[in-house]
Amino acid sequence: MILWLFQIVFLDEFYRMQKRDMLRSSSESIVHNIDNQNLQALAYRISERNNVCILIADENMRPLVEAEAWNGCIIHHLGPRTLSQIVKKTLAEEKKTGFVDFPLGGFRNHNYDARQFRGPVPPGDEGNASSVVSVSIAQKANGKNVYVFLNCLVTPVGSTVDTIRNQLYFISVLLVLISFLLSIVLSRHITRPLEVMTAAASALSRGEYEPVANASYLEIEQLNRQLSQAAKDLHRVEEMQQELIANISHDLRTPLTLIEGYAEVVRDLPDEGTPENMQVIIDETKRLSTLVNAILELNTARNGMNELECRHFDLTACVDEILKRYQKLTEQEGYKIFFEPDQHVNVFADEMKVQQVVYNLINNAITYTGVDKTVMIRQLIQGNIIRIEVADSGEGIAPEELEHIWDRYYRGKKPHKRAAVGSGLGLSIVKGILDRHGLAYGVESKEGEGSTFWFEIAKVE
């Protein structure tokens, strides 16, 4: 369309504009050199190069310099009176250069009429051929005014234009054909797979997605793979949630049954209201609270409801504080928890949250540690980075499980006798908190040898 507009509709207009620009700059060159001895040579050169006729006349329209480029030019056929009229008409309003359009018609030496001839003869102008005359005024050194007339044809040179137009018809047909073919190819290779994928993706919400066969382009192939992955992930999340509901309901039911049973016993048999029985009720209630708190903590952490409240605190003391909670466990059940820091270090973070991280890591280590019941907590300092490591001597984590353990609701496949209350939320809470602090963390684990969970935090003075 653009090609058509420029080459067919506006071609004449452009040509005319270009010619006018050429006339303007040519007459400027002449006006600048009006006192030059060799003005005639300049006039010839300009006339030759730009195909314009030049006439420089004095105030009485007597020619001073002339250069004729083509036969039948107008300015050489006009009398002094007409020339003066042109000057008056165009140079009114103090303009330096003016233009007049002239139909050629009467100035031609011949009267050509294509109809008079047979065979493929050139078409006639039919009065359309026209030329432009430009007039400029210049002042010579002696104070006298001279007029510079330039004249050129503005009808586009026929044969070239015809060639371009013929080419354009050919190009247009070719373009339509090519675009037609292209659209068929594109729709086959891009649109079709996309349509099929869109249809297939509607099953995505159900966690199902059949990857589209022969997705031809790299990007479509990638999208295809991403969608498959998303489907797998969704499927896994759904599985995990179902598992969680099963786990949680199981985990909730056990303490509830115990509490109910013991409470009934205490109600019916007043003698059974012993501290031990009451302790069972209290312990089971605590288990329930822990579970509920873990779920609540995770949700609020995820929703960003509780902002970080960062301040300076003694990290070493904080770990020590947590270990005190395990004193009873170490005494009664023979767990050995080692923490031997060589100095106290301060950090800037949300104390409660960091406490939660350390607590969850130690809890897991205690739960999953081996028969030697040993848990090792290390505080390593490198430059101004503090690395806290929590290591156990348990069975370790299988490599294929490593990337999943941080996921919400993920619980290891191997049943573990001490992991009865596990909700699969502990590590995902750790991850949430450390991510929000922007801290580095990770796990190194060898099956059969134990796991070491670590995180790093900047030291402050």
Query: Phi and psi (nearest 5°) for 384?
Result: -110, 25
Counting every residue, how long is the chain? 461
The residue at minimum Cβ distance from ligand ADP is 412
Dist CA 185 CA 46 (whole Å): 55
Instruction: Determine if 388 is a binding residue for ligand ADP (CB under 6 A).
Output: no
* x-marked contacts with ligand ADP along 342-381 as a string, rule CB under 6 A: ----------------------xx--x-------------
Query: What string marks each residue from 289 to 318 as x (binds ligand ADP by CB under 6 A) or -?
Result: ------------------------------
Which of residues 23, 298, 301, 425 is near ligand ADP by CB under 6 A?
425
Q: Minimum CB separation from ligand ADP for residue 235, in Å?
A: 19
Least distance in Å: CB of 436 to ligand ADP?
17
Of residues 76 and 404, the one with the C-beta less far from ligand ADP? 404
d(CA 394, CA 170) in angstroms, rounded, equals 80
Q: Is the dihedral of CA 49, 50, 52, 57 positive or negative?
A: negative
Give the residue, chosen from 412, 439, 444, 456, that forms a contact with ligand ADP under the rule CB under 6 A. 412
Q: Shortest gap between Cβ of 189 and ligand ADP (angstroms)?
A: 45
Which of residues 52 and 397 has its CB atom nearest to ligand ADP in the complex? Answer: 397
Q: Does 432 bind ligand ADP (CB under 6 A)?
A: no
Of the candidates 328, 458, 437, 336, the one whose C-alpha atom is nearest the C-alpha of residue 388 is 458
394 scored as a contact of ligand ADP (CB under 6 A): yes
Q: Which of 65, 87, 451, 455 binds ligand ADP (CB under 6 A)?
A: 451
- Which CB, 224 or 428, lies closer to ligand ADP? 428
Q: Closest separation between CB of residue 254 and ligand ADP, Å?
A: 15
Least distance to ligand ADP from the beta carbon of 225, Å? 28
Separation CA 21–CA 396 (nearest Å): 85
Does position 427 interact with ligand ADP (CB under 6 A)? The reply is yes
**What burial letters (b/e) apply to 403-436, b meaning 16+ CB within 10 Å?**
ebbbbbbbbbeeeeeeeebbbbbbbbbbbbbbee
**Residue 219 buriedness (CB in 10 A; 0-12 / 13-18 / 19+):** exposed
User: Please, what is the minimum distance in Å from the beta carbon of residue 422 to ligand ADP?
Assistant: 3
Q: Considering beta carbons, is residue 104 or 366 the nearer one to ligand ADP?
A: 366
Both tokens assigned to 320: 């020590």
HSE-up of residue 453 (Cα within 13 Å, Cβ side)? 26
Q: Which of 136, 224, 316, 428 touches ligand ADP by CB under 6 A?
A: 428
Binding mask of the shown chain, residues 173 to 212, with x at each position contacting ligand ADP by CB under 6 A: ----------------------------------------
Residue 387 C-beta: closest distance to ligand ADP, Å: 17
Residue 438's CB: how many other CB atoms inside 10 A?
A: 7
Output 193 or 426, the one with its CB closest to ligand ADP.
426
* Residue-wise burial string across 322-336, b where 16 or more C-beta atoms lie within 10 A, e elsewhere: bbeebeeeeeeeebe
Look-up of token digits 């990857």 = 211
Cα 16 versus chain centre, distance: 45
Do residues 359 and 397 lie in contact, with contact meaning Cβ atoms separated by under 8 Å?
no
For the record, the structure tokens of 63 come out as 């020619």
Tell me which residues touch ligand ADP (CB under 6 A): 364-365, 368, 392, 394, 397, 405, 410-412, 419, 422-428, 451
